[in-house]
Amino acid sequence: MSETDSFVTAVGDLLASWNLPHATGRVYGLLLVTDEPLSLDAIGAELRLSKGAVSTAVRQLVSWGLARTIPRPGSRRLVVEAAGGIESLLEASHARARTLIGTLRQGRELARSPATRERLDSVVGLFESYVAVGEDMLARHREPPS
């Protein structure tokens, strides 16, 4: 197995552990180490994936902000390139966590016992801490070197 294949598989494994399909992670891994945007056919050939699997993976990556499609002039075919980095995935995760926090806060009003409210408050606190630490980390990462 080549170093590129190992990297692509490792990214696939990582994103699969975050509940994204393994194929989506493999496509992202390939895009990260490819100098030029790739066509869907080239991605499928390189990774030995069906057109449907590649199309689904690209749509997922675009929806997470991890890839962008680029139209080819005079053609309906697109090429794809990696966009941003894992930061986009973390930002999307933070947005989802904020939605969960809001929902959990609404549930607190339904809690009838102090123990139930305490449990909800604990979960809210955990997710608030996750978002705060993650946003601080991303802000430090984006600071220009001194």
* Same-domain pairing of 24 and 44: yes
Tens digits of pLDDT across the chain (146 residues):
899 999 999 999 998 988 889 999 999 999 999 999 999 999 999 999 999 999 999 999 998 888 999 998 887 888 999 986 667 778 878 888 999 999 999 988 898 999 999 999 999 999 999 999 999 988 888 888 77
* Same-domain pairing of 38 and 71: yes
* Same-domain pairing of 92 and 61: no
* The token pair that represents 28 in the structure block: 């992202």
Structural domain harbouring 125: 87-142
Domain stops at, among 84, 100, 134: 84
pLDDT for residue 77: 86
Please give the biggest Cα pair distance in the chain. Answer: 65
* Same-domain pairing of 48 and 21: yes
71: number of CA atoms within 13 Å, CB side?
A: 4
pLDDT for residue 31: 96
Domain stops at, among 50, 84, 118: 84
Alpha helices in 18-113 (DSSP H): 22-32, 40-47, 51-63, 86-108
Cβ(89)–Cβ(64) below 8 Å: yes
* Same-domain pairing of 54 and 76: yes
